[in-house]
Amino acid sequence: MFRKILIANRGEIACRVIRTARQMGVSTVAVFSDADRDALHVAMADEAIRIGPAEAAKSYLNIAAIIEAAKASGAEAVHPGYGFLSENPDFVEAVEAAGLVFIGPSAGAIRAMGLKDAAKTLMQKAGVPVVPGYHGERQDAAFLAGEAEAMGYPVLIKARAGGGGKGMRRVEQPADFAAALESARREGENAFGDGRVLVEKYMTKPRHIEVQVFGDNHGNVVHLFERDCSLQRRHQKVIEEAPAPGMTAEMRAAMGQAAVRAAAAIGYSGAGTVEFIADVSEGLRQDRFYFMEMNTRLQVEHPVTESITGLDLVEWQLRVAAGEPLAKRQEELSIDGWAFEARLYAENPARDFLPATGRLSVFDLPQDARIDSGVRAGDTITPYYDPMIAKVITHGRTRAEALAKLETALETCRVGGVTTNTGFLTRLCRLPAFAAGDVDTGLIGRAGESLLNEPDASEEAFALAALSALGFLEAPADPDPWGHLRSFRLWGEAAQTVFLDHGDAEHALRVTVRKKNRFHVEHNGITTDIVVQSTDGRSVRVAFEDRVLSATVHREGTDILVFFAGHVHTFTIAEEAGHHGEAAAGGDRLSAPMPGLVRVVSAEPGARVAKGEALVTMEAMKMELVLAAPRDGVVATVPVAVGDQVAEGALLLSLEPEEAA
């Protein structure tokens, strides 16, 4: 076994590898960019080495810097994690040329599966069914449009390199094909350095089912059963589970054997995943599943496989790379129970899952679920890398039990300081179709706004925020409630008005002290009586009329977070009424929703534009953001150009006032 390994990655997966290596007595070396100098994976590793600036291209994608770090540290092997260089055959060859071991498949195996079109040709020869479509070399737009027309809409344009939903566009009608092709090519070029695409028939009710495979250097290949990854947004996975609901023994055997054939065809060694798409318009059928691609690395969702098999896949990776044979034969592997994984992201589902940045002022996750994370309270989610905060994994004897545990775990997540998808994930767990196992890749889209929008703050949440603003939830409790009240009184009960911002509005709440721990709160003509039974300055036990509930209230400066009834609501204390003034620029401005790079500018001053028309395309957090006109009008100014790096809130484009237009 290796004495020391270097982990050529960051965040959650780096922390994950470090944990297993430590259990095996293997020392670890972390690498970090300037943005990650104080990151958790740096703190966990036995030693850490800087490899460059914050930009991934100059650090985590810098092959020369990583090889130099590995040699300087005395590491014997390199673990690539997932993403970044994990599926780069040039990196594998550089590692081996330096006299080190790459913990993963050979460069040849990665190349064989790295381009989707070539991989599908190889799979056809191996007897593995592939999705109908065009996987050839011709790339002129007119030809590809003709192929799409011939196979019939809807179609799916896919970058032939990479994965993670990048460079993928669904096209419903011929009129949209050219723009979608250009966008897919651009994103593929930006993400993978390859703008070539393939075009496939889009299935109206597809399920994404993948099979975990493992090979060694002695010719052995096994599969570790399947995972269902059909719950997706933007072609990216949201919740994964193992095994797949509705899977029969016959179907499992057919998919498992196809996956093993795929891996054996390229002499595969290490952990890999063979991804299939299944047409379930008539249910799961053995003649309706097709090879999509093979990920020649460990997958983000590998914990659900570990949960149902009782295996540590990172340990298997290290042992196989060290030359050991697989620990088990196929007949020795079995499924125990059910597991789910939810990906907790810094993103805003109500704004088309726009990635978010910010400091994690609160980060309390449940103790009764497996949590894989690379961050801590106080860490900052930056615009440089993927915005995943944590993975929440649960296991149960049955699917219903595992799903119930996941819902409970998500309800008790306390993450503040940055917008997250926690509420979205919780609502998804409650979706009847998902609970019944009736899943496909279009389920989230069909569920609509009910999944995406956070519910309005309740009057109870407003009341808790008002009490926090006035200091009544501090610990230890002030024995004299009058001390918190600034208004002069001659008689009657003490009262104080507090102004809170919530959403896009200002709210005035009048708080009256009834007794030491009893309060009366008036807001928008609604009165709420609240009794504070206990508080430690954060965890609060309160009574509202005939209900007794628990909440978490976190205050930092003028910001107040209320975690209540499975939701988080954000309030900001204002000094006085009317501080808002007029809404900033109304619908006349197009501003950057987050830091990023301007990729496309489609309008110039004087141009007339229509509401919803795409005007600016930004790249941020490994994805493209298309920003549209907020209303019909005439462009007044365009202060940015293609290639500009802009800050959050930067003006990208303005429209002439409506009177002038």
Tens-digit pLDDT profile for residues 360-411: 999 999 999 999 999 999 999 998 999 999 999 999 999 999 999 999 999 9
What's the one-letter identity of residue 222? V
Closest CA to 452 of 423, 417, 415, 414: 423
The active-site residue, picked from 160, 288, 297, 555, is: 297
DSSP state of 9: -
Residue 586 has pLDDT above 50, yes or no: no
Q: Tell me the pairing of strands 77-79 and 133-134.
A: unpaired
Contact 560, 553 (CB under 8 A): yes
C-alpha span between 191 and 269 (Å, rounded)? 26
Look at residue 581 in the predicted model and tell me its pLDDT: 38
What share of the chain has pLDDT > 70, as a percent? Answer: 94
Q: Which long-range contacts (CB under 8 A, 24 or more apart) does 201-204 make?
A: 201/131, 201/132, 201/133, 201/151, 201/152, 201/155, 201/156, 202/153, 202/154, 202/155, 202/156, 202/170, 202/171, 203/277, 203/279, 203/281, 204/154, 204/281, 204/442
Look at residue 350 in the predicted model and tell me its pLDDT: 86
Closest CA to 349 of 229, 462, 208, 238: 238
What share of the chain has pLDDT > 90, as a percent? Answer: 71
Q: How many CB atoms lie within 10 A of CB 469?
A: 23
Cross-strand partners of 414:
364
User: What confidence category does residue 117 fall into, taking pLDDT thresholds of 50, 70 and 90?
Assistant: confident
Structure confidence by residue, pLDDT tens digits, 174-228: 999 999 999 999 988 887 788 999 998 888 889 999 999 999 999 999 999 999 9
Preceding omega of 89 cis (within 30 degrees of 0): no
Residue 479 has pLDDT above 60, yes or no: no
Can 351 be counted among the known catalytic residues?
A: no
CA distances from 613 to 174, 183, 190, 431, 597 (A): 18, 15, 23, 33, 20
Mind giving me the DSSP string for 11-78? HHHHHHHHHHHHHTT-EEEEEEEGGGTT-HHHHHSSEEEEEE-SSGGGTTT-HHHHHHHHHHHT-SEE
C-alpha span between 119 and 160 (Å, rounded)? 10
C-alpha span between 627 and 450 (Å, rounded)? 23
Look at residue 204 in the predicted model and tell me its pLDDT: 80
Q: In the predicted model, what is the mean pLDDT of residues 296-304?
A: 97
Give the lowest-confidence range in 260-269, 474-483, 557-566, 614-623: 474-483
Look at residue 476 in the predicted model and tell me its pLDDT: 56
Residue 596 has pLDDT above 90, yes or no: no
574 phi and psi angles, rounded to 5 deg? -110, 150
pTM of this prediction?
0.83
User: What confidence category does residue 164 fall into, taking pLDDT thresholds of 50, 70 and 90?
Assistant: low
Q: In the predicted model, what is the mean pLDDT of residues 155-160?
A: 91
What's the one-letter identity of residue 80? P
What's the one-letter identity of residue 299? Q
SS3 656: coil
SS3 607: coil
